[in-house]
């Protein structure tokens, strides 16, 4: 993949070429927008490294290139030689080694003059990559600008042998042709993209409108349901109260016939009241009026309460209701009443459609995610055909079947379960075969997490002084947008990682001064300071360059990010699975990390 914009390659065959390299470095630095001071720094660093390559590496090459598409771009100078390598790089870099000719100084000095300096040395040769970010406000270097630059470099031959200049000019002309071709291709692509873009924008507008319509209709339905249910409730309560009064013979005795009839009235009113209650629950969830009240509880307690509650529903002795023992399960922190309601609905549903056999209720940690608990209710009833499996989670749907006709129901139970599970951050699944039975599963998080947009007080999050739990690995999150920060914190909740938040690079530095995180999640567009520069500096310090940095940003410039030392690069939005998987691979790969896992 040739994404870097190649500017020029020089060969180091003679001493004069070292001079040429630094002069070219200065010209290129000037053309790419560096200030005079930086031009001198770059030229000096190139001079040092090129001399090393020429003197100790028996010649080599110097290549200038630009990486990155968005400003600030990155100037890359790669110096390669085929010499014997640097014998003791570590001691050279630590300043313990000083050759009489000053080679060590050249390397150390160049590291200071540039943003970053990668050295890769082996007995077969040495490769040094010098990197410096273009200054803020420098116009982006594009293929077109490089063409112009090439032309100017070609027109400005500098002190060197005639052949060298000729050869370089030929090279520049070739590069120029290539660039022009690339430029034309880019123009064509841009036009094409613009056309597509216009279409997409129009389509989006249409979709938005439709979505708004639907949302309004849905809100109206929920409001209607909620109001109507309340209106129904009052007369229903009077009917039930009056029927009970009659049945209690307070107003004189009833004939046996009358007693039966009033009994029917009472039963009818009660059924209707149950239906209205379900409707009301559903409407409440849809209008967002339901609050989740999380608390600690155990599965065993939940099961024993359910057992007591549901025993009266077991009217035949051909069906058995079994609760599996819930051993070795962690405590839950979620809304017990809602979990209980979901299971009750599952069980009563199962009871309705099972004539013979058993209904089994179990709980276990999900196999694929230890942070989820799975409740299953399996029956040996009539089962549900594949076609209908999605339908039954929609409101007011009931499947036509012989047995269905004999059972009463509102068709609201399962949709309610689905809504409740979603409210708790979980989901519902169904596995069923007609004639063999059904298995309903509710997958719920062990610990209920407030939704990210719930708007917790800012201050609590912004303060960088989060308490560090010694059992969990600290991850520094540098992100200025509070919702995104909260989102990442939620991602990490319940994992072996804990987040330490910083809303700016200044805060990040304060955190880093106090502790060493196991990884850093870095946003690029931060207020006040340029994160590219910060990344470059961070990754060039030996003490901390081993700390993995995961860039998550809207800026699509992975090449540059990786070139500056980022260990992973994501364009927002960053998904939970991606973050966790990346952390796992980067952090747990570090030596000594395994022992700290819980």
Partner 1 sequence: MERIPILRMGRLLLVTIQVDMHDQLALALQDDLTNRIVRDRANGVLIDISALDVVDSFIGRMISNIAAMARVLDARTVVVGMRPAVAITLVELGLELPGVRTALNVERGMALLQSENE
Binding site for partner 1 (CB under 8 A): 15-16, 18-19, 22-23, 26, 36-37, 39-41, 43-44, 47-48, 51, 102, 105-106, 108-110, 112-113, 159
Phi-psi region of 102 (alpha: psi -120 to 50; beta: other; left: phi over 0): left
Nearest residue (CB) to partner 1, 37 versus 318: 37
Nearest to 168 by CA among 43, 21, 385, 307: 21
Nearest residue (CB) to partner 1, 55 versus 431: 55
Least distance CB 113 / partner 1 (angstroms): 6
Helix (H) or strand (E) holding 458: helix 458-462
* Residues facing 9 on adjacent strands: 63
- Reading the block at residue 439, the tokens are 């298995």
Nearest to 447 by CA among 318, 335, 325: 335
Helix (H) or strand (E) holding 80: strand 74-81
Nearest residue (CB) to partner 1, 18 versus 563: 18
For residue 49, the 8-state DSSP code is H
Least distance CB 512 / partner 1 (angstroms): 24
Q: Are 84 and 78 in contact (CB under 8 A)?
A: no
The number of residues in the chain equals 598
Question: What is d(CA 61, CA 126) in angstroms, rounded to the nearest whole number?
Answer: 11
Least distance CB 492 / partner 1 (angstroms): 40
Least distance CB 122 / partner 1 (angstroms): 25
Question: What is d(CA 413, CA 425) in angstroms, rounded to the nearest whole number?
Answer: 19
Nearest residue (CB) to partner 1, 102 versus 573: 102
Nearest residue (CB) to partner 1, 89 versus 385: 89
Least distance CB 18 / partner 1 (angstroms): 6
Q: Are 107 and 119 in contact (CB under 8 A)?
A: yes
Whether residue 573 is preceded by a cis peptide bond, meaning omega within 30 degrees of 0, is yes
Nearest residue (CB) to partner 1, 24 versus 360: 24
Nearest residue (CB) to partner 1, 111 versus 240: 111
Question: Cα separations (Å) of 18 from 23, 39, 57, 58, 524?
Answer: 9, 16, 13, 12, 37
- Residue 72 CB burial class (10 angstroms; 0-12, 13-18, ≥19): buried
Nearest residue (CB) to partner 1, 110 versus 362: 110
Least distance CB 446 / partner 1 (angstroms): 55
522-552: burial string, b at 16+ Cβ within 10 Å, e else? bbbebeeebbbbbbbebbbeeeeeebbbbbb
What is the residue-wise DSSP string for 87-140? TTHHHHHTT----TT-HHHHHHHHHHHSSEEEEEEETTEEEEEEEEEPPTTPPP
Q: Are 445 and 424 in contact (CB under 8 A)?
A: yes
Least distance CB 159 / partner 1 (angstroms): 7
Least distance CB 26 / partner 1 (angstroms): 7
Nearest residue (CB) to partner 1, 113 versus 276: 113
Q: Are 502 and 526 in contact (CB under 8 A)?
A: no
Least distance CB 56 / partner 1 (angstroms): 13
Nearest residue (CB) to partner 1, 21 versus 520: 21
Question: What is d(CA 223, CA 282) in angstroms, rounded to the nearest whole number?
Answer: 11
Residue 132: phi and psi, rounded to 5, are -145, 135
Nearest residue (CB) to partner 1, 48 versus 379: 48
Least distance CB 104 / partner 1 (angstroms): 10
Least distance CB 83 / partner 1 (angstroms): 17
Helix (H) or strand (E) holding 481: none
Please enumerate in sequence order all residues whose Cβ is within 8 A of that of 1, keeping only pairs 6 or more positions apart, or say none.
none
Whether residue 165 is preceded by a cis peptide bond, meaning omega within 30 degrees of 0, is no
- Reading the block at residue 434, the tokens are 């007609």
Least distance CB 171 / partner 1 (angstroms): 21
Least distance CB 544 / partner 1 (angstroms): 21
Nearest residue (CB) to partner 1, 110 versus 499: 110
Nearest residue (CB) to partner 1, 28 versus 449: 28
Question: What is d(CA 235, CA 239) in angstroms, rounded to the nearest whole number?
Answer: 6
């Amino acid at each position: 993949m040739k994404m870097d914009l190649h500017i020029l390659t020089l060969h180091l065959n003679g001493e004069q070429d070292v001079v040429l390299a630094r002069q070219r470095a200065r010209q290129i630095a000037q053309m790419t927008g560096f200030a005079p001071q930086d031009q001198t720094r770059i030229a000096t660093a190139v001079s040092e490294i090129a001399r090393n390559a020429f003197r100790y590496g028996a010649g080599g090459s110097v290549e200038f290139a630009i990486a990155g598409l968005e400003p600030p771009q990155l100037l890359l100078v790669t110096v390669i030689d085929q010499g014997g390598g640097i014998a003791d790089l570590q001691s050279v870099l630590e300043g313990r080694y000083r050759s009489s000719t000053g080679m060590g100084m050249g390397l150390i000095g160049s590291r200071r003059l540039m943003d970053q300096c990668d050295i890769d040395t082996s007995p077969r040769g040495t490769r040094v990559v010098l990197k410096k970010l273009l200054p803020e406000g420098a116009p982006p270097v594009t293929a077109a600008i490089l063409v112009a630059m090439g032309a100017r470099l070609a027109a400005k031959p500098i002190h060197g042998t005639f052949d060298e200049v000729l050869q370089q000019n030929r090279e520049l002309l070739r590069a120029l042709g290539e660039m022009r071709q690339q430029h034309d291709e880019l123009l064509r692509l841009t036009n094409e993209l613009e056309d597509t873009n216009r279409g997409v924008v129009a389509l989006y507008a249409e979709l938005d409108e439709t979505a708004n319509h639907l949302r309004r209709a849905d809100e109206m339905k929920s409001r209607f349901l909620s109001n109507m249910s309340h209106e129904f409730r009052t007369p229903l309560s009077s009917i039930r109260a009056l029927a009970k009064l009659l049945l209690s013979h307070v107003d004189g005795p009833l004939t046996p016939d009358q007693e039966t009839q009033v009994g029917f009235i009472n039963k009818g009113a009660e059924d209707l009241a149950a239906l209205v209650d379900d409707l009301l629950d559903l409407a409440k969830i849809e209008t967002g009026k339901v609050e989740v009240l999380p608390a600690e509880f155990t599965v065993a307690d939940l099961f024993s309460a359910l057992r007591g509650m549901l025993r009266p529903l077991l009217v035949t002795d051909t069906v058995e209701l079994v609760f599996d023992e819930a051993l070795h399960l962690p405590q839950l922190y979620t809304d017990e009443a809602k979990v209980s309601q979901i299971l009750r609905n599952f069980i009563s549903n199962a009871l309705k459609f099972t004539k013979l056999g058993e209904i089994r209720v179990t709980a276990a940690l999900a196999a694929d995610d230890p942070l989820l608990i799975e409740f299953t209710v399996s029956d040996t009833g009539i089962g549900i055909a594949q076609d209908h499996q999605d339908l039954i989670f929609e409101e007011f749907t009931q499947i036509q079947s012989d047995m269905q006709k004999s059972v009463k129901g509102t068709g609201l139970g399962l949709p309610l379960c689905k809504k409740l599970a979603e409210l708790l951050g979980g989901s519902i699944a169904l596995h069923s075969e007609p004639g063999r039975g059904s298995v309903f599963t509710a997958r719920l998080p062990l610990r209920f997490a407030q939704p990210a947009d719930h708007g917790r007080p800012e201050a609590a999050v912004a303060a960088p002084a989060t308490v560090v739990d010694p059992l969990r690995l600290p991850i520094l999150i540098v992100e200025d947008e509070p919702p995104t920060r909260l989102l990442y914190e939620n991602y990490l909740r319940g994992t072996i990682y804990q987040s330490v938040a910083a809303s700016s690079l200044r805060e990040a530095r304060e955190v880093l001064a106090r502790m060493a995180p196991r990884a850093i999640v870095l946003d690029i567009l931060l207020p006040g300071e340029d994160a590219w520069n910060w990344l470059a500096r961070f990754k060039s310090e030996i003490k901390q360059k081993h700390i993995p940095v995961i860039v998550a940003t809207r800026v699509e410039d992975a090449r540059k990010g990786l070139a500056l030392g980022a260990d992973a690069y994501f364009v927002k939005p960053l998904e939970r699975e991606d973050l966790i998987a990346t952390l796992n691979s980067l952090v747990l790969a570090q030596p000594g990390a395994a022992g700290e896992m819980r």
